[in-house]
């Protein structure tokens, strides 16, 4: 497998950045994960817009121009012969310099790493795609809207989920309200039948899948209420699903020890999974 590292295409297994890289020392960097479906990037523009925003919020410099990055992404995909389902990982850090917290001296180059790997085929069977989550305290920081490589609380949450036999952990804030999951956004159809997901803000990552799905709702005659819901509302929900670049629309049929209603995938989730499937296929019918 071939990776791009600071201007060069190198074997991923032996690709290197400097030991003084601030991504390694401090987690001082940002990233993106883009899904490639049958050779097409899904919501690429949304991902690059979010990268631009993440870089700006942390006052990180673009390592190369946006057009150049688009070319690098394609070159990595091409060199790895990834013509079907794949994910592309893009990371930018504040570069290497003397280890001190202050930003490095002017002129220090950002580090850019891009690699890719094949993904299993896009799921066809929504019932088989269903999974479970646990819930736990949101232990992250106040700027979860920035996609930084600082992911310790997310790692601990995902590991706890795995050890409990679940896929994800819904993060519950100090007020008992659900923010999102450790690596995905979370949606419910509440007890009154209303589709809900938390409004954008510093508490959640503005998911590109969340944004893409939101744009598909009116064609499905669905309305979205962007309002926070509590852990109790999550437990009482008619339907629960999560979204991310690698989970797509993923039904949740179990929350902690209880099944969501009768434990089968509900009609709204089913409809949105189908709509998102058409979206990743470029609008083609199934
Ligand atoms: N929330 C968190 C914390 C994430 O890490 C991710 C993606 O990795 C998401 C939400 C979903 O974002 P996207 O749909 O852009 O993949």
| Domain boundaries defined on the chain | 2-118, 126-280
Q: What is the 3-state secondary structure (H, E, C) of 70-138?
A: HHHHHHHHHHCCCCCCEEEEEEEECCECCCCCCCCCCCCCCEEEEEEEECCCCCCCHHHHCEEEEEEEC
Q: Which of 51, 178, 183, 206 to mutate to test the pocket of ligand 1 (most atoms within 8 A of CB)?
A: 183
Using DSSP, state whether 172 is helix, strand or coil. strand
Give the ipTM: 0.99
Q: Is 209 in the pocket of ligand 1 (CB under 6 A)?
A: yes
167-179-50 Cα angle (round to 5): 90
Using DSSP, state whether 189 is helix, strand or coil. strand
Region 114-140 average pLDDT: 96
186 C-alpha vs ligand 1 centroid, how far in Å? 10
Using DSSP, state whether 242 is helix, strand or coil. strand
Region 128-148 average pLDDT: 98
Neighbours of 120 (CB within 10 A): 8
Average pLDDT, the chain: 96
CA 71 → CA 35, 62, 185, 206, 280, distances in Å?
A: 16, 15, 29, 25, 21
pLDDT band at 282 (very low <50, low <70, confident <90, very high): confident
Q: Which of 205, 216, 241, 247 to mutate to test the pocket of ligand 1 (most atoms within 8 A of CB)?
A: 205
Region 156-165 average pLDDT: 98
Looking at the annotation, which residues are catalytic?
147
Region 164-171 average pLDDT: 98
109 C-alpha vs ligand 1 centroid, how far in Å? 27
- Measured CA to CA, the distance from residue 238 to residue 235 in angstroms comes to 9
Supply the pLDDT for residue 68: 97
Supply the pLDDT for residue 127: 98
- Measured CA to CA, the distance from residue 235 to residue 178 in angstroms comes to 11
Report percent pLDDT > 70 for the chain: 99
Residue 283 has pLDDT above 70, yes or no: no
244 phi, psi to nearest 5 deg: -170, 170
Residue 280 has pLDDT above 50, yes or no: yes
Q: Is 92 in the pocket of ligand 1 (CB under 6 A)?
A: no
Tokens 């923010």 label which residue?
A: 179
Using DSSP, state whether 237 is helix, strand or coil. coil
Ligand 1, atom 3, lies closest to the CA of 183
Supply the pLDDT for residue 83: 87
Q: Is 207 in the pocket of ligand 1 (CB under 6 A)?
A: yes
Q: Is 169 in the pocket of ligand 1 (CB under 6 A)?
A: no
Region 258-284 average pLDDT: 94
Q: Is 239 in the pocket of ligand 1 (CB under 6 A)?
A: no
Ligand 1, atom 10, lies closest to the CA of 184
Tokens 């199934």 label which residue?
A: 286
Supply the pLDDT for residue 286: 43
pLDDT band at 147 (very low <50, low <70, confident <90, very high): very high
What CATH superfamily classification does 126-280 receive? Answer: D-amino Acid Aminotransferase, subunit A, domain 2 (3.20.10.10)
- Condensed to tens digits (0 to 9), the pLDDT of residues 31-75 reads 999 999 987 899 999 999 999 999 999 999 999 999 999 999 999
21 C-alpha vs ligand 1 centroid, how far in Å? 25
Give the atom of ligand 1 at the shortest distance from the alpha carbon of 185. Answer: 10
DSSP per position, 41-52? ETTHHHHHHHHH
Residue 285 has pLDDT above 90, yes or no: no
- Measured CA to CA, the distance from residue 75 to residue 70 in angstroms comes to 9
Report percent pLDDT > 90 for the chain: 95
Report, at the CATH architecture level, how domain 2-118 is classified.
2-Layer Sandwich (3.30)
Q: Is 269 in the pocket of ligand 1 (CB under 6 A)?
A: no
18 C-alpha vs ligand 1 centroid, how far in Å? 28
What is the pTM (predicted TM-score) of this model?
0.97
């Amino acid at each position: 497998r071939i990776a791009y590292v600071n201007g060069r295409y190198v074997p991923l297994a032996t690709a290197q950045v400097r030991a003084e890289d601030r991504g390694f020392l401090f987690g001082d960097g940002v990233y993106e994960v883009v899904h490639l479906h049958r050779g097409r990037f899904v919501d690429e523009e949304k991902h690059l817009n979010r990268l631009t925003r993440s870089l700006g919020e942390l006052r990180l410099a673009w390592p190369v121009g946006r057009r150049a990055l688009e070319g690098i992404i394609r070159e990595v995909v091409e060199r790895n012969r990834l013509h079907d389902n794949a994910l592309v990982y893009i990371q930018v850090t504040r570069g290497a310099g003397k280890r001190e917290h202050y930003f490095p001296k002017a002129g220090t180059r950002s580090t850019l790493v891009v690699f890719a790997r094949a993904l299993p085929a896009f799921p066809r069977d929504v019932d088989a795609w269903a999974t479970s989550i646990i819930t736990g305290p949101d232990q992250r920081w106040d700027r979860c809207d920035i996609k930084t490589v600082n992911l310790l609380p997310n790692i601990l949450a995902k590991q706890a989920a795995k050890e409990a036999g679940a896929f994800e952990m819904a993060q519950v804030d100090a007020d008992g309200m659900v923010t999102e999951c450790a690596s995905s956004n979370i949606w419910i159809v509440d007890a009154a039948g209303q589709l809900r997901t938390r409004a954008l803000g510093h508490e959640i990552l503005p998911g590109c899948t969340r944004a893409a799905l939101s744009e598909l709702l009116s064609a499905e005659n669905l309305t979205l209420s962007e309002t926070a819901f509590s852990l109790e509302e999550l437990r009482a929900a008619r339907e629960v699903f999560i979204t991310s670049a690698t989970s797509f629309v993923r039904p949740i049929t179990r929350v902690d020890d209880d099944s969501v209603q009768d434990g089968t995938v509900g009609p709204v989730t089913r409809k949105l999974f189908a709509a998102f499937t058409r979206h990743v296929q470029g609008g083609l019918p199934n």
